[in-house]
Amino acid sequence: MSVVGGVLRKAPASDDDPRHLDETRQYLKDTEELSAVARHAKEFTDLMALRHLARINPTVLFLTAEHPFPAPPSTTGPLSSSQRSPQAKSGVAP
């Protein structure tokens, strides 16, 4: 893997120390590792934040991660037949 430093908006007090390349290289390695184990975008974002909280904008990371990951299981979706009321199962109005 190659990492090339670019021109980004950075804090005025930030230096151009070569350690930034090492930090970026580690961030990319962590991205690859965690994307293999995360099941959805929120989980990936949470795992990355545990390792790189000072380095990331969680909102941007989550919005970017939504593309390669499926949506998490819905907790507000339609009820399964076992969750419906007896009236709904029988077709009788309450």
Tell me whether residue 10 is in a domain. Answer: no
Tell me whether residue 9 is in a domain. Answer: no
Tell me whether residue 88 is in a domain. Answer: no
Tokens of 65: 């991660």
pLDDT of 85 above 50: no
> pLDDT tens-digit profile of 40-79?
988 999 999 999 888 778 888 888 888 888 666 655 444 4
Tell me whether residue 41 is in a domain. Answer: yes
pLDDT of 36 above 90: yes
- C-alpha–C-alpha distance, residues 63 and 66, integer Å: 5
Q: What is the pTM of this model?
A: 0.59
Tell me whether residue 76 is in a domain. Answer: no
Number of domains, the chain = 1
Tell me whether residue 94 is in a domain. Answer: no
Cβ pair 62, 45 in contact under 8 A: yes
Task: Tell me what pLDDT residue 22 has.
Answer: 87
Range of the domain at 30: 19-71
Tell me whether residue 65 is in a domain. Answer: yes
Q: Give the amino acid at 61.
A: L
Please, what's the b/e burial string for 33-62 (b: 16 or more CB within 10 A of its CB; e: otherwise)?
Answer: ebeeebeebeebbebbeeebeeeeeeeebb
Tell me whether residue 6 is in a domain. Answer: no
Task: Tell me what pLDDT residue 79 has.
Answer: 47
Give the distance between the most distant pair of CA atoms in the chain. Answer: 72
